Structure formats: C-alpha cells, structure tokens
A and B are shown apart, each in its own frame.
Chain A
Amino acid sequence: MGKVPKKKRSVADKVRKAKTSFEIKNNPFEVKINRKKFDVLGRKSKHDVGLPGVSRSKANNKRKETLLKEYKQKGRSSKFIDKRFGEYDTQMAPEDKILKRFALERQVSKDLYNLNEDEELTHYGQSLAEMEKFNDAVDSDDESEEKGLLSAELTASHFGGGGLLRKKTGGQQDGEETHRAKSRQELIDELIQKSKQEKRERQVRKEESQELTEKLDQEWKSIQALLVKKTPKCDRAEEEKPKLEQYDMMVRELVFDMKAQPSEKLKTPEELAREEREKLQKLESDRLRRMMGEEVEESSQSQSHISADDLHDGFILDKDDEKTLSYQVGDKRRQAVLSSPFSRFLLLLLAPESYSDLKDLLQGHTPDNQRLIVARTQKSNHASLAVGNKLKLQKMFGFLLEYIGELATRSPPELVAVDKLIPELYSMCQMFPEAACKAMQSIFEDAGHTMEEVLEVKGHVPFPALDMLVYLKVTGLLFPTSDFRHPVTTPALLYISQALTKCPVRSLQDVTSGLVLCCLGVEYVTFSKRFLPELINFLAGTLHLAVKDKTSLGYTVVPPFRPTGKCSDLLVLSDSESCASWTKKSLPLSATRHLELRSERDRDHHRLTCVSTCLDLVKRCCLLYKDLPSFTCIFRPIRTLLSEHLSAQTLPELLQELRGEILESIGGAAVTRCRLVLEKKKPIPLKLLTPKIVEVLDYGKKRGCNREEREKERLKHKYKKEFKGALREIRKDTRFLAREKLTEVMDRDSERKRKVRELFGSLATQEGEWKALKRMKSK
C-alpha cells in the first residue's frame, strides 16, 4: 500500500521519459521561462528556458539509484559484491561482457596438474588425456565423435589442418568413416605409445642435463675456492657483509678520488718566471678588487694545479718549507744544529696541548733553535699524518701568538726571538686562515674591551704596551691591510686610531709609542691610500710638542694634545747646541717602555730622532694623500706649524731639509678642485595620454585591474557558486531521505493498523459466535 504513490511517480516519470523531448519542450506546463533583466545583443544564454519537471525527475532517479541504495544498506556489515567480470562497468556493452566472461572461464579451467608444458588439448571443453581412460569403452562412432581423443597431429592428419575442433558436418563424417575403420585402434595405440615414449625420453634428457649442471656447479666451487683463495661459501656467510662494505667503500673512494692529471712538461726558467708573474698579477688584482670593497669569489687562494698527492689540507710547499726539508744538503748552519745537543729536537715532537707546554718546549733555547723547534713540531704534526693534527696545529697557532706577546712583554723584550718566529707564524697562517683569524680577533677583542672599560672609568688610557704593538705589526704581515673590510685588519686599524686619539702623551716613551703606532698606521694605509685622520692629528700634535714659542698659534691641535700645559713641551730641545752632535739612527722598539737617557744631551738626541721620524712620516703622508680633494685643508695646520714656528728654531741640517721638502710638497699640490656633482639619475618619464587597453577576460563584474587579480576574482566567484550548489544538493539529499523515511514509517503504521483491524475483526466474530452459543444454551 505504501509503495503505491512511489510507484505512481515512477510510472509518471517513465511516461515523461517516454515522451519525446520535443513534446515536453512545447508543453507550456513543463516549461519555465527565466526572465532576463537586460537584453544583451550577441550574447547567447543557455538558461533562458528551464524544464523543472524533467530535471526534478532526473535528480529523483539519480538519488534513488545512489542515495536510497546507500540508505538501505546502512547498518549492514555484510555486502553483496558481484565479482563477475564487468558487472559494475556501465560503459561496456552487454555483448562484450558476455564474450569476455566466456573467455575468462576458458582460461581458468586449465588443468593445473599437467606435467607437459605443451598446450593442453581439449575436445568440447574436456581434456583429451581424460578421454584416454574411456577409450575402450567407446565403441560407437557417434560417441567417439562426441568425445574422442585427438592429438594435434591426428587432427591435422585427419582434417587437413583444421585448427579448431568444431561440430562436423554430416558429409564429412561419412567420408572419413571408411578410412578409420581399419586402423583406428592400432593408430591410436601407436600414437599413444609414441607420445609416451617421447615423454619418457624427454624426462630422461631433462634429468641428465640437471645432473650435469649440478656436477659442474660442484666442480666450479672447488676450483673457485682455489682460484680466489677465499673460504667456501658456507664459511664465508658471516663475513660476507663487512667485506662487501669495505669493497663498496673502496669503490666509492676510487670514484670520488681526484684523477691524476697528466703532468705538464718541464718548464723553462722563462716560462716559470712568467707563470709566477701571472700568479702574482692575479693575486694583486684580487687585492685591488677587495680594496674597492667588491666581494671576491673563492678563487684567489686555491691553486690551479692539483697534484695527485695533494691531500686537500691547504698545505702548500713553499720555498721556506723546502729549505727546512732539505737541510741535509749542505746548509752549514743546519749542519751545525744537527751536531749540536739540540739535535734531539729533530726527532718527532708532540704538538703542545696547552700554552705552558709550548713555553716549556721553547724556554731556554736560542731564537734560531726556537724557530727550528716550532718548524719541526709543525712538520711532525702535519695534518696529513693523523686525524687530530689539524686541530692541534690550529691551537698551536694561538699558543704561538700568546708566546710572542709574552716575549714582547718581558724585560728586556726578546724581539729577536719574535722576529725569528715570524716565518713560522706566516706559514701556519697560510695553512689555517680561519683559526689564525679567530686567534687574532680574540686578541683585539680583549684589547679593545679593556681599553673601552678604562676609558669609561678614567676618560683616558695609557698607550698600548709593546706586545700590542707587535701584534699590530704581525697582523699587518699576515693579513692584507688594503681590504675594504677585513675581519682582522679593520678592527686593528680602529684600535690604532682609538689609541692615537685617547692616549695622552705624557712622556718621551709615550711619544715613541705614538710614533710606532703612526708608523704602523702609515704601513696599513700605504697600499690602499686610505685617509686616516687620527694619524695626521697625531703627527701635527707631535710636531706641536717641539714648538718652543706657543704664544700665537695659527692652528688648533686636536685632543689628546693640548695647546699649552704640563706636557706640551716634551720635544723642545733643552740645549740648542746638541743639534750639532746629533746623527740619525734607528730607535729600538723597547724605547716605547723605558728609556735610559742619562744626560740632557741624550735626551735632546732622542727628541731630535723623534722629530725626524715624525717629519719623515709627514712626508710619506703628503705623498699618500696628495690626490685627496681637501689635501690642503688636511695639511694646513702642519704647514703653518712648519713654516711659521719650526723655522725659527735651530734644527739640524737633515731636519731642515725634510721640512723644506714637506713644505714644498704641500704648497706644490695641485689645488685644482674636482667638481662636486650628483650622479645622474634616470629621468622620470612624462605622463602618457594614450588610453590604457585592458584585456577583458570575462564579462560581468570586473574588479581587479590586472590579469592575476581578475583570474583570482573569477576563481573566487566560481568557488562561491560551487559551494552554493553543493549546499543546495545536500539540502535536497536530506529532503529526499526524510521523505523516504516518512514513507517507511507510514508504511509500517498502516501495516500495523491493518493487522490490528484484522485481529479485532476475528475477535469480534469469535465473541459474536460465543455469545450466540451462550444465547442458544440459555434458551
């Protein structure tokens, strides 16, 4: 009863379906016309006419096929799956399905236990081999026709090569019967025997070959064991893995190993010289590039030629190394060392683990021997000899630096030993640039930090000690000072400048220290010709110290110097006659710490030496900064100082000469000023008035101005549409399901009502009958 309305609808659907689309489309009750707001010419609209009835019934059917089935299956764990071929494939035509299924059936029914590899022959789907058994029983021709045993040969001989067995026509059967009557039995026997024999022979052959191969295997194994000298396979089983790994490792190593390059021909001295020159030129150009502040790629340090023995440890055999390696060959000094009691150091030396180790190692030896010890330690702990050696040597560089610092702080300073150790430091630095850089950086960091702290507390600092001066010099030797920015030399220069501006000059030692710093400053900027203002300030201040009459200065001095005061006459001569006895000689570096000047004359000589050094540095600076635009401004104080104040004083010939040269170079400097012009900027284009053409991707609302935005907008719109559609679909699905559930419930209810009514009816009749019987009895 419940299913009636549904059925009705389905019938209606069917009817609707059956109707031709033409009929539906013309039926005004089926058609809904969508009103257009605007008529746009040339636009084709798909959706001007809708068929709501048709689409609703379509959707309904679809739901019934999918959703309803799912609903019915809900809560059921077992499932009926039709595994027949192509059962759920709606694309396939039913005829094709049937054919495929048939073919599959045929494939599956193959005999699994057939010994022969040959294709099994069948007759009407039954194995011929099976037929054999019933051979005798079969008498009648008709029957034999139905299930006779036929081999391929036989059929070929009988039917003239008819490939497949088919139901024979009656005519054919008649023609063959006469021929078969005589020999059929024998023929079959013969055939059987033949095939059996063949089978046996084949089996025997197979076994033989198998035996032979086994035998061969055995023999090969014994031979193999002899050949490769390896344990037999069974013994080797456990060791197999590690050996394989080793082998793999070796293979990989060989793969990644540098191939030995063909060695070049022996070069003539000219060629060698040229190559050397080219290499230097390349290094020089790299240096120039770094000076301009450009980033350099990592080609400058690596060598073009790699030897087959090269270990990639950055170790380059230079001239210096060669010397130490070939000491047996006639170097007398080395020979002497060899015969000396220190020859034991030429044995293997352990790299020092700590600074005190190194100190113990070097303590009490002459500078030459110290160098030799360091060199031998370095050689005997070469990075290629053991794994940890590289780290040890890197550490040793740090210790060596510390040792040099200590040598410089001793009194008297052992600068000769420092001097001897420089080549070793250089070679180690070339080996480990990063470690060397780190060690140097930490020294400058400490020094800078302490200087800053003292400055904060006191406002001024004493001049750096001799060890810092030595470090600064060593930095200049190890690292390029001309780089635009360098992790070591830039802080070192900053340190020099800080020292030159913040350290007050209070004694002749301070003057000497300051002059050493100035020398270092000049050395640092010699190549790059960079401007170091502190240097000029300090030199001018030092010259100011030598000015006797400080009443009318035509210049200003820059801190740490003061125009007048306690220590502003340090370099003024006490006796002008000491000029005559003065000769120029180099100052010892230890003069930065203590001076032994007994007489006033010695003092004056020292003063004159300082002044001459200062003047020489000024001269160098003049040459360095000749090309700077404000050269005259920079040197104006020095110029007035030299021309107006120092000229009045009596100075030795040499100094007067220097003074004249300087004044000449300052005055003679070309005062042509370069023009100061801003770099040309690319002009901003004028506004153009041609219309901007925008490509229209799709019509309708256009919000975005460029292609990507429009595309994005379009996709967003599409997404929104799809989302809405999906929502609508889901709503329709739930509505459909609810309807289904309702009908189910109503079905159940009506069924129950019907049953109840039936029961009541039967009970009523029963009651009626019983009452009637009672009435009867009472009567």
Chain B
Amino acid sequence: MLTCDTVHVSFILYVILQSEKEKDVVNAVNACSKLFSTLLEKKDLFLGKLPTGEEEEAFIGLSAEEKYRLFMRQRYSSCVEMLLEHLDHELYSVKESALCCLMKFAEGEGRHPLEDLDWSEHYSFPRELLQGVVDRLLSRTTENSMLISRFQEFLEMEDVRYYVMSSIRENVGKVLAKNKGVGEPFMFNNVFSLMSNISIPSQESGLTNFMIKQEGESCLLSEHKRAFEKMWLGFLKYKLPSNMYKKILVILHDSILPHMSKPTLMIDFLTAAYDVGGAISLLALNGLFVLIHQHNLDYPDFYKKLYNLLEPSVFHVKYRARFFHLANLFLSSSHLPLYLVAAFAKRLARLALTAPPTALLIVLPFICNLIRRHPSCRVLVHKPKSVEDPYLMEEEDPAQCRALESSLWEIKTLQSHYHPDVAKAAGSINTPLSGLEDDISELLEKTTYELMERDLKQTRKTVPLEFETATQLLKGGGDVLGQHFCLG
C-alpha cells in the first residue's frame, strides 16, 4: 500500500519538478525533500552499489523489496540531478529551496549511507553531492552572490566547510586549467564571494558544530587550515582581473592570513602585488605589514618602494585612511635613517600642495610627528641659511633626493591655505614642537562634510556682512565670473 503510494508520488513529483510554474516547482521541491528524507531515514534507499546498465536489466533476479528499493533509488538520483539543475534556475526562490533540499539530502545521506562503507572509512560524507552543489554555485554564467550568502549558513558546520574547501579547489583547478588560466568574471566573483565567506575558528575547541558525526582528518584544525590555504593558493596562482586583486587584498590581512597554516606562502603573491603599483600596491602594504611584523619577513627595498608610492593620487584614493595608518606604523620605528625620514617628510610636504583639506589635516600632523620622532629632522623647519630648493622630486631613491638640504617651504605656503584649520595646523611649524605627538587616528576618516558641519553648526553672535553693495549677479569679487560668462 505504502510502497505503491510512494512510487506514484515520486513519479508525479519528478514530473512536477520539470514544470514551468515557479510555485509548483517550489512546492514539489519541498515535497521531495520530505519524501526522500523519510525514505533515507528508513534506509529504504540502501542498496549497495547502484548497478549500471539498462533499468529493466537491473531488475532481473531481485526480490520485490529489492526491486522497490532499486526503483526508489533510481528516482532519488534523478531527482537529485533535477535539483542540481534547478540551482541554475533564474528565480531565486527556486534556487534557494533546491539548495536547502540538497543540503538536507546531504545530511540524510551522511547519517544513513546509501552504500556499504569501505573498511578504511569509519565515517562517510556525501562528497559527490557536495561537489555537485559547489560546481553549480560557482557558475560561469550567472552571478550567485545571493545564493552563496544563503549557503553561508551551511558553511558554519565544520565538516561541510572542510569538504566545500576541497571541492572549491578541485573545481577552480579543473575549470581554469581547461580555460588555460583565463576565467570569466562571473566565475571569479562567485569564487571570491564563496571563499571570502569561509572563516575558520581560531582554536581547536571551536570545532564543535558538525553536520554529521565525524572523526579523522576533518576534525583537526590543522587540516582545516591546510585545506583553506590550498584553496586560496590554488585560486591566487591564476591571473586575476585587477578589481579582483583589490578585493582580495582588502580582506587579505584579517580574513585570510590568520587562517592559513603557513602565512609565509603568501609572500610571493604580496610582493608581486606590491610591485604592480598604484592602488594595488597600497593595498598590498597591509598584508606585507602583517608578514613583516609577525612572520619575520625581510623585505630589502621596502621603504624605497613605499617612498615611490607617494604620488599625488595618494590623497584622493579611497584607501587613503588605510594607507596613512600603515605609513604611520612603518615610520614610527626609531631606527630609520635620518635621510629617509627627511625624504618622506619633504615628499609628503611637496605632495600636500595638491591635496584636499581633509588630506592636509592628516598630512600636516603626520609631518610634525615625523619631526618629533626624529629631532635631527628639525633642520627641515629651521635653517637660517637661505638656499635654493635642492630637493629632487623625480629621484626615486630617497637617499639621493637631497631632502635634508632642503626646507619645508611647502608648509609655509600652506599657512595661507583657504581653510582655517589647515592654516592653523601649518602654522605649528613656526614654533618649536611640543613633545607629545598628535594623534592622527581620529583625523583619518574625516570627511569634507564633517569639516563643513563644524562651521555650519557653530552659532556665532554676529555674522560679518559684505559691505560692498551688490547690484548684479555677475558683478563683485573682482568680476572674474562676469568677464567670462554671461546670463542666459
């Protein structure tokens, strides 16, 4: 009775799963999930190895119960295939329910294996199923970030994460090797969003949340770390688009490096990125800093390269705050040679001539701090002998740029900057600097609007007014606008 029903139902479900209507499909998926999970629980699908060949042939010579099982098992595998196809469906709701259903099957399969266990493995994990899911997630044609963020829920389980990592590695290796290292942007985005969602607990005791009771390698934190490392290195060895580089470098220092078993393996990648120049170099700084600071990396021309990173665009890029935070850290060492500090100070001052006020409010205290840390640099602001500016802006080597023979006239210039705060900050080089360093960490994130707000919110008793009577729109203020433009 029951068997007859389930057979019918499974047939009907299979038909509906192919339906066009979204609602039907979602309902069918849910029903599938219920039906097959109960069957899995009852071990009704258990049947050694699935025989190959024609369906009819397989049934020969089996008892009725075995026939039933074989039949249901075939229905199950075709249903799984259907669901995997649905992961590429255009509607998110279908995708989501298919994903949930598949993960439920994975759980059921893990608990009640479909086949006999090998003598070597005392545990089992439905790796094929998971591999299929991951392959679909890392689609080459569609953007799957929504689905991947839904998938993150499952990644919290240690064993799922472990097997997903190895699946990703396999998938990426397979696909990119086939395309000779050239990947599609969709694929890169999917891989990145899936991989950046993976994070590993920092302690062995953190590994508690398993989907299926596990023992062996997937219980060891070191194994997890190794898998993580292999996954990332496997991905990074291919040629990536520059925006992907930026994305990876942004998260590198706090969500990749700490989870790797040997962070030093990243050295090649980071030095290569540091040599690229521009924003990528700026971002690579952060990872390099972690390696230098914690993993004893020796980087010979580090400061020279840092010096060459200082370009006018430094003050305008999005990662300005991060860069200055790191530059502050690098230059806080008291063992730096004097010529280097002077070169940095002079170059920053020169660049400050093109900087917006928010950047100037960072740079001016920054230069003052440099002079404070290295009191011998005071010659930059105190040089009674009058000379021409011998500083060589184009020189790439800080040792050869003759910054120590120059003075910071640029800061003197900035004392007549239009913004009162900047003018005041620049005015501080006139007087002997106080012993305490300025804290620039608060200034790093300041925006122009915050600067404006300061004046706008201030309530003054009297407002000075223009005393020259205004008569026309284009007149007044030296008539500059009136000379070049007319009304109309």
Encode A341-372 as 1/0 by CB contact (under 8 A) with B. 00000000000000000000000000000000
Please tell me if B182 contacts chain A, counting CB pairs below 8 Å. Answer: no
Please tell me if B449 contacts chain A, counting CB pairs below 8 Å. Answer: yes
Interface residues of B in 446-486 (CB under 8 A from A): 447-449, 451-453, 455-456, 458, 460-467, 469-478, 480-481, 483-486
Partner of A633, one of B353, B477, B481, B484: B353
B487 and chain A: residue at smallest CB distance? A415
Please tell me if A495 contacts chain B, counting CB pairs below 8 Å. Answer: yes
B460 touching A487, Cβ below 8 Å:
yes
Known: A630-B389, A633-B410. 19 other contacts (CB 8 A): A280-B467, A293-B420, A448-B453, A479-B463, A479-B466, A481-B477, A486-B455, A486-B463, A487-B456, A491-B455, A491-B456, A515-B484, A519-B480, A519-B485, A522-B478, A558-B354, A617-B480, A633-B409, A678-B378
CB-defined A-B contacts under 8 Å, sample of 25: A283-B467, A287-B467, A290-B464, A298-B462, A300-B464, A423-B471, A433-B465, A479-B466, A480-B465, A485-B420, A487-B455, A491-B456, A498-B356, A519-B480, A520-B480, A524-B418, A529-B416, A530-B416, A536-B354, A559-B313, A589-B487, A613-B484, A630-B410, A675-B384, A678-B431
Chain B residues with CB under 8 Å of A613's CB are 484
- Asked, given contacts A298-B462, A422-B470, A678-B431, whether A526 binds B353 with beta carbons under 8 Å apart, the answer is no
A437 and chain B: residue at smallest CB distance? B463
A426 and chain B: residue at smallest CB distance? B470
B432 touching A476, Cβ below 8 Å:
no
Please tell me if B237 contacts chain A, counting CB pairs below 8 Å. Answer: no
Please tell me if B152 contacts chain A, counting CB pairs below 8 Å. Answer: no
Interface size counted on chain B using CB atoms at 8 A:
74
B residues sitting closer than 8 Å to A (CB atoms) are: 311-313, 316-318, 350, 353-357, 378, 380-389, 407-410, 412-414, 416-420, 423, 430-432, 447-449, 451-453, 455-456, 458, 460-467, 469-478, 480-481, 483-488
A558 touching B312, Cβ below 8 Å:
yes
Cβ-closest 6 pairs across A and B: A523-B477, A477-B470, A530-B418, A452-B449, A559-B316, A586-B486
Chain A residues with CB under 8 Å of B476's CB are 476-477, 523
A452 and chain B: residue at smallest CB distance? B449
B472 and chain A: residue at smallest CB distance? A419
Inter-chain CA distance A668–B354, complex, in Å, is 22
A residues sitting closer than 8 Å to B (CB atoms) are: 280, 283, 286-287, 290, 293, 296, 298, 300-301, 318-320, 412, 415-416, 418-419, 422-423, 425-426, 429-430, 433-434, 436-437, 441, 444-445, 448-449, 451-452, 459, 470, 473-474, 476-481, 483-488, 490-491, 493-495, 497-498, 501, 515-516, 519-520, 522-534, 536-537, 556, 558-560, 586-590, 613, 616-617, 620, 628-630, 633-634, 671-679, 681
What's the least CB distance linking B485 to chain A, in Å?
Answer: 5
B455 touching A674, Cβ below 8 Å:
no
A497 touching B389, Cβ below 8 Å:
no
Chain A residues with CB under 8 Å of B407's CB are 673, 675-676
Chain A residues with CB under 8 Å of B357's CB are 494, 497
Main secondary structure of the interface of A (DSSP, over half): helix
Chain B residues with CB under 8 Å of A478's CB are 465-466, 470
B383 touching A526, Cβ below 8 Å:
no
A673 touching B471, Cβ below 8 Å:
no
A620 touching B473, Cβ below 8 Å:
no
A490 touching B420, Cβ below 8 Å:
yes
Inter-chain CA distance A444–B369, complex, in Å, is 34
Inter-chain CA distance A473–B482, complex, in Å, is 11
A419 touching B487, Cβ below 8 Å:
yes
B448 touching A452, Cβ below 8 Å:
yes
A520 and chain B: residue at smallest CB distance? B481
Inter-chain CA distance A485–B384, complex, in Å, is 32
Chain A CB within 10 Å, residue with most, of B416, B430, B461: B416
Chain B residues with CB under 8 Å of A633's CB are 350, 353, 389, 409-410
What's the least CB distance linking A297 to chain B, in Å?
Answer: 9
Chain A residues with CB under 8 Å of B470's CB are 422-423, 425-426, 477-478
Partner of B463, one of A293, A419, A487: A487
Inter-chain CA distance A531–B413, complex, in Å, is 8
- Asked, given contacts A477-B470, A533-B354, whether A445 binds B481 with beta carbons under 8 Å apart, the answer is no
What's the least CB distance linking A434 to chain B, in Å?
Answer: 6
B414 and chain A: residue at smallest CB distance? A531
B463 touching A434, Cβ below 8 Å:
yes
A628 touching B484, Cβ below 8 Å:
no
A530 touching B413, Cβ below 8 Å:
no
- Asked, given contacts A493-B419, A494-B448, A532-B418, whether A459 binds B383 with beta carbons under 8 Å apart, the answer is no
Inter-chain CA distance A516–B485, complex, in Å, is 8
What's the least CB distance linking B446 to chain A, in Å?
Answer: 12
A677 touching B382, Cβ below 8 Å:
yes
Chain A residues with CB under 8 Å of B311's CB are 556
What's the least CB distance linking B342 to chain A, in Å?
Answer: 14
A676 and chain B: residue at smallest CB distance? B407
B451 and chain A: residue at smallest CB distance? A494
What's the least CB distance linking A644 to chain B, in Å?
Answer: 15
B409 and chain A: residue at smallest CB distance? A629
A515 and chain B: residue at smallest CB distance? B484
B409 touching A676, Cβ below 8 Å:
yes
- Asked, given contacts A318-B469, A534-B356, whether A476 binds B452 with beta carbons under 8 Å apart, the answer is no
Inter-chain CA distance A633–B453, complex, in Å, is 32
What's the least CB distance linking B369 to chain A, in Å?
Answer: 17
Chain B residues with CB under 8 Å of A674's CB are 386, 409, 412
Inter-chain CA distance A634–B408, complex, in Å, is 14
A526 touching B452, Cβ below 8 Å:
no
Partner of A301, one of B313, B420, B431, B465: B465
What's the least CB distance linking A623 to chain B, in Å?
Answer: 11
A532 and chain B: residue at smallest CB distance? B418
B418 touching A588, Cβ below 8 Å:
no
- Asked, given contacts A497-B357, A526-B480, whether A433 binds B462 with beta carbons under 8 Å apart, the answer is yes
Inter-chain CA distance A678–B357, complex, in Å, is 24
A531 touching B417, Cβ below 8 Å:
yes
A673 touching B463, Cβ below 8 Å:
no
A589 touching B413, Cβ below 8 Å:
no
Partner of B462, one of A301, A451, A470, A522: A301
What's the least CB distance linking A410 to chain B, in Å?
Answer: 13
Inter-chain CA distance A448–B449, complex, in Å, is 6
Chain A CB within 10 Å, residue with most, of B408, B451, B452: B452
Chain B residues with CB under 8 Å of A494's CB are 357, 419, 448, 451-452, 455
Chain A residues with CB under 8 Å of B481's CB are 473, 516, 519-520, 523
Partner of A531, one of B312, B408, B418, B458: B418
- Asked, given contacts A416-B488, A493-B419, A678-B432, whether A480 binds B456 with beta carbons under 8 Å apart, the answer is no
What's the least CB distance linking A298 to chain B, in Å?
Answer: 5
B473 touching A495, Cβ below 8 Å:
no
Inter-chain CA distance A434–B387, complex, in Å, is 50
- Asked, given contacts A429-B465, A519-B485, A559-B316, whether A526 binds B451 with beta carbons under 8 Å apart, the answer is no
Chain B residues with CB under 8 Å of A672's CB are 386
What's the least CB distance linking B436 to chain A, in Å?
Answer: 17
Chain A residues with CB under 8 Å of B458's CB are 487
Inter-chain CA distance A633–B386, complex, in Å, is 17
